[in-house]
A = this chain, B = another copy of it.
Amino acid sequence: MKQETKLRILSVGAEIIHRKGFNHTGIQEILLAAGVPKGSFYNYFKNKEDFGLQVIDYFVEYFEGLAKGVLEDPSSPPLRRVYILLGHFIEFFKTKDFELGCPIGNLSQEMGDLSPVFREKLRFATHAMISRYTKVLEEARISGEIPNDLDIPNAAAFIVSSWHGALVQMKIMKNAAPLENHRRFIFDKVLRF
């Protein structure tokens, strides 16, 4: 029950933070939206910074779960799994009216200059995402789906960074075009022979 309440605060709080930004969101606002009594926040989190750092962990776990389910799915060829994962995110943002964006990208932009503790945690989260793409691209190279001379770690870093930029553009265009454009250029140009 305690764990359940903590997870509710994290998931509701994460969504508010993605929409409004970390510094612009108050703890009371999160507790109200989560339907949790005022004052119980400190049963679960040391302070707002601790909460923010745990939001990052929460998202990394979510991404790792998706990565395991989609990027390691042996029923599709490796490159197809990347296509499916990006499509999964595109569908998700359609249901969210092209709001929110990625918590790792958003917090990197907002907190990257402001907090060394956030920066360290966000680097870890970003490296976790890059590692997942690196791993599946290595499989794609073995199966002959991408060129042998592709610089895989940097291609993976570029897939992640350009995805975050596509989400930034999505937030003002309010349509799927920037995300679909990202996937198209990654597949038709970056990963092609």
Binding site for B on A (CB under 8 A): 19-21, 23-24, 99-101, 105-106, 108-110, 112-114, 119, 122-123, 126, 154-155, 157-158, 160-169, 171-174, 177-178, 181-182, 184-185, 189-190, 192
Contact = CB atoms under 8 A, between A and B. Distances in A.
DSSP class of A's interface residues: helix, strand, loop or mixed? helix
Contacts of A182: 158, 161-162
A152 to B, nearest CB: 12
A99 B113 contact: yes
**How many monomers of this protein are in the complex?**
2
A110 B106 CA distance: 8
A103 to B, nearest CB: 12
B171 A165 contact: no
Contacts of A158: 162, 181-182, 185
B108 A172 contact: yes
16 contacts: A21-B24, A99-B112, A101-B109, A105-B165, A105-B168, A106-B109, A109-B167, A113-B171, A126-B172, A158-B181, A161-B182, A162-B162, A162-B182, A164-B168, A165-B167, A185-B190
Contact of A19 (B114, B181, B185): B114
Contacts of A190: 185, 189-190
A137 to B, nearest CB: 13
Contacts of A192: 189
Contacts of A185: 154-155, 158, 162, 190
Contact of A168 (B19, B24, B109): B109
Nearest to A151: B184
